[in-house]
């Protein structure tokens, strides 16, 4: 069984991007992060994104808004960034406070600066296989892991567990499109699926994105399956100082005995999302240069 090392692959992408940005003559790409409130996880995520941007040579700007900011004020801030020609990408760190509508907020971002790929227009483009759109970072990261691990997908059966707007559905659409990786027969399963094991055990590639710790067991997969585990779940672990450890949606040790390839958790899909965010930012920059 080969481990698909997300850290190493993300690192390669970051280095490629840094090399490309290093060759840019004068202006550099700029990404703006909007963070609302002080949720500790959000603080940590945004800081990580800023660090990696810095390594690549992408300038980042952090806009901090108070937790009780009105939707109107938030939108005014987004509008300002949309109009600012210096800004190439805009990322609004989720989760947002309950009084702010996430879909409306993501759709407020100019589609051309929507490096998170959450705008309805970019989701539509993904469905239409229009490559001018931005693809959300997690499904884009999954595709990149598969591509750089030379996993064959054409004519293969890809089973996606989970029908979320952010992972399951876009991953399914990407795997079925007329491209490589892609050209796969795709089955989308979810909480209402009956006889789940009989379907997952047909998978040549299994993408698990349901958020249930160790849900996929060895009896649910066939020999030689490639497993992409998108889940990041906390389970209690008294042996750790933190009192918990992170596990995926797949029972790693058990499934490892049958799989050909597997992503670990952590260190699989996770590190790819920031890399793909930077990839999208550089693309937005290049598109803006062309005009």
Contact positions vs a second copy (CB under 8 A): 103, 119-130, 154-157, 163, 165, 169-170, 172-173, 176-178, 183-190, 192-194, 199
**Please, are residues 208 and 228 in contact by the beta-carbon 8 Å criterion?**
yes
- Provide, rounded to whole angstroms, the least separation between the CB of residue 204 and a second copy: 10
286-42-279 Cα angle (round to 5)? 20
Task: Provide the minimum distance between the beta carbon of 260 and a second copy in the complex, in angstroms, as a whole number.
Answer: 17
CA-based torsion, 122, 126, 129, 134: positive or negative = positive
Which of 5, 93, 114, 204 is an active site residue?
93
Rank residues 79 and 130 by Cβ distance to a second copy and give the closer one.
130
**Active-site residue, 2 included:** no
The nearest distance, CB 238 to a second copy, in angstroms, is: 37
Active site residue 93: yes
Please state, as a whole number, how many other Cβ atoms lie within 10 Å of the Cβ of residue 237: 13
* 116 is known as an active-site residue: yes
Q: Among 114, 105, 151, 155, which Cα is nearest to 136's?
A: 114
Of 115 and 282, which has the nearer Cβ to a second copy? 115
DSSP conformational letter for 211: -
Q: What are phi and psi of 283, to 5 degrees?
A: -65, -45
Nearest approach in angstroms of CB 191 to a second copy is: 9
Catalytic residue among 5, 116, 249, 251: 116
Phi and psi, residue 206, nearest 5°: -115, 120
Q: Please identify, using beta-carbon distances, which residue of 53 and 205 lies nearer to a second copy.
A: 205
| Residues designated catalytic | 49, 93, 116
């Amino acid at each position: 069984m080969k481990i698909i090392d997300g850290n190493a692959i993300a690192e390669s992408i970051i280095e490629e991007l840094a090399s490309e940005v290093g060759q840019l003559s004068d202006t550099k790409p700029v990404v703006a992060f909007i963070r609302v409130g002080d949720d500790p996880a959000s603080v940590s995520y945004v800081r990580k994104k800023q660090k990696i941007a810095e390594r690549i040579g992408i300038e980042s700007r952090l806009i901090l808004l108070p937790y009780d900011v009105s939707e109107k004020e938030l939108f005014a801030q987004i509008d300002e960034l949309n109009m600012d020609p210096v800004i190439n990408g805009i990322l609004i760190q989720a989760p947002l406070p309950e009084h702010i509508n996430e879909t409306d907020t993501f759709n407020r971002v100019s589609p051309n600066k929507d490096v998170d790929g959450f705008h309805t227009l970019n989701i539509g483009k993904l469905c239409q296989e229009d490559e001018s759109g931005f693809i959300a970072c997690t499904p884009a990261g999954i595709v990149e892991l598969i591509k750089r691990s030379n996993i064959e997908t054409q004519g293969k059966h890809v089973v996606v567990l989970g029908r979320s707007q952010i992972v399951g559905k876009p991953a399914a659409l990407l795997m079925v499109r007329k491209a490589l990786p892609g050209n796969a027969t795709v089955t989308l399963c979810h909480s209402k699926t009956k006889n789940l094991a009989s379907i997952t055990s047909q998978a040549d590639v299994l993408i698990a994105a349901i958020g249930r710790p160790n849900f996929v067991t060895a009896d649910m997969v066939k020999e030689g399956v490639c497993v992409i585990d998108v889940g990041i779940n906390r389970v209690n672990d008294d042996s750790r100082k933190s009192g918990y450890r992170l596990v995926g949606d797949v029972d790693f040790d058990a499934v490892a005995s049958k799989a050909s390839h597997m992503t670990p958790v952590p260190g699989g899909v996770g590190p790819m999302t920031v890399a793909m965010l930077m990839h999208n930012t550089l693309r937005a920059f290049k598109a803006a240069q062309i005009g």
